[in-house]
Amino acid sequence: MNSTPPPTPAGITPEYLRVKEAVRFSGLSRAKLYEALTDGRIKSYSVRDPGKTRGTRLISVASLREFVESHAVTA
């Protein structure tokens, strides 16, 4: 896992990542990430307009980092 998420063009470290960025940041597969999201082990939010079924899934960087660190095995 990278130690920090990719900075934005303004150089600000984001609090939330989209799924594609979260996969790249954590090294988890997309399937494993969604499994952890479904189980509530990683916090995420769906941002969408009222009445719409599609939106943008945003994943908490802090929650993602905690999940990865709690499952890390020291070699």
pLDDT (0 to 100) of residue 73? 82
With respect to residue 24, please indicate whether it lies within any of the assigned structural domains.
yes
Domain count, the chain: 1
Domain with 55, as residue range(s), is 16-70
pLDDT tens digit sequence for 46-72 = 999 999 999 999 999 999 999 999 988
Long-range interactions of 35-43: CB distance < 8 A, separation 24+: 36/67, 41/67, 42/67
Q: What is the pTM of this model?
A: 0.78
When pLDDT is cut at 50, 70 and 90, the band that residue 5 belongs to is: low
Strand order in the sheet with 44-47: 16-17, 56-60, 44-47
With respect to residue 10, please indicate whether it lies within any of the assigned structural domains.
no
With respect to residue 8, please indicate whether it lies within any of the assigned structural domains.
no
pLDDT tens digit sequence for 24-53 = 999 999 999 999 999 999 999 999 999 999
With respect to residue 5, please indicate whether it lies within any of the assigned structural domains.
no
With respect to residue 33, please indicate whether it lies within any of the assigned structural domains.
yes
Query: Cα 11 to the chain's mean position, in Å?
Result: 19
pLDDT (0 to 100) of residue 33? 97
